[in-house]
């Protein structure tokens, strides 16, 4: 009786293997599709409230659950004009707005410095987070703050582009949101061209 069960296991196993191989041939993307995305850890986006380039308070929470949001952390001392992603987002602002996508830039520069460093105004808020060293700063909450390696070296900031979906969730890696791996194709991905 036991040998008969063992004999049946072999053909059943072969049938399962053949079925899986056939499925794999017919679905070459396999696990990289929706199933692979389901394995990604998504958590609520850390909220913040900052002044923009016009000294108006912008509250991230006001946009959550109503829009897709792009947040670009950049070097505030160099100015927003030097950030390739922000300049590209500015060029495609009308198309992004038509898709109900909100763009926010975040730097450590003061609002007046942001205004003075822009030769052409940005149609979306460029936010000021001058207290990036504070425990509840936007830079710390989003993992874009670099602790100084020594006491005599000033802290730094890490650039990054983050996408928040309409449900207010963002991919996480460890204890911080995960920046997008390739921000050069961000506009194409947002507008569905990729």
Residue 156: closest CA among 81, 83, 74: 74
Residue 52 in 3-state DSSP? strand
Domain extents in the chain: 2-38, 44-190
Residue 142: closest CA among 84, 92, 89, 74: 74
* Residue tagged 């204890």 (tokens): 175
Residue 112 in 3-state DSSP? helix
Tens of pLDDT along 72-109? 999 877 788 888 999 999 999 999 999 999 999 999 99
pLDDT, residue 33, reads: 44
DSSP 8-state code for residue 188: H
pLDDT, residue 193, reads: 62
Beta bridge partners of 68: 101
Token digits of residue 66: 């109503």
Share of the chain above pLDDT 90, in %: 51
Phi, psi values for residue 163, rounded to 5° = -115, 125
pLDDT, residue 35, reads: 47
Tens of pLDDT along 37-61? 556 899 999 999 999 999 999 999 9
Residue 10 in 3-state DSSP? helix
pLDDT, residue 82, reads: 87
Tens of pLDDT along 101-141? 999 999 999 998 888 877 788 999 999 999 888 889 999 99
Using CA atoms, how far apart are residues 112 and 128, in angstroms rounded to an integer? 9
| CATH topology for the 44-190 domain | Glutaredoxin (3.40.30)
143 has a pLDDT exceeding 90: yes
């Amino acid at each position: 009786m036991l040998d008969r069960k063992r004999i049946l296991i072999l053909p059943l196993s072969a049938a399962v293997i053949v079925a899986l191989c056939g499925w794999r041939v017919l679905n070459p993307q396999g696990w990289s599709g929706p199933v692979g995305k389901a394995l990604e850890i998504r958590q609520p986006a850390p909220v913040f409230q900052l002044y923009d380039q016009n000294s108006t308070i912008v509250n991230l929470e006001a946009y959550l659950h109503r829009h897709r949001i792009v947040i670009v952390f950049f070097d505030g001392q160099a100015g927003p004009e030097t950030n390739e992603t922000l300049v590209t987002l500015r060029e495609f602002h009308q198309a992004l707005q038509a898709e109900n996508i909100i763009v926010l830039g975040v730097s450590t520069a003061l609002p007046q410095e942001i205004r003075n460093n822009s030769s052409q105004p940005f149609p979306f808020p460029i936010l000021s987070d001058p207290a990036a060293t504070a425990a509840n700063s936007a830079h710390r909450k989003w993992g874009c703050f670099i602790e100084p390696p020594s006491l005599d070296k000033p802290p730094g900031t890490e650039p990054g582009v983050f996408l928040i979906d309409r449900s207010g969730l963002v991919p996480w890696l460890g204890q911080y949101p995960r920046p997008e791996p390739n921000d050069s194709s961000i506009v194409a991905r947002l507008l569905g061209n990729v």
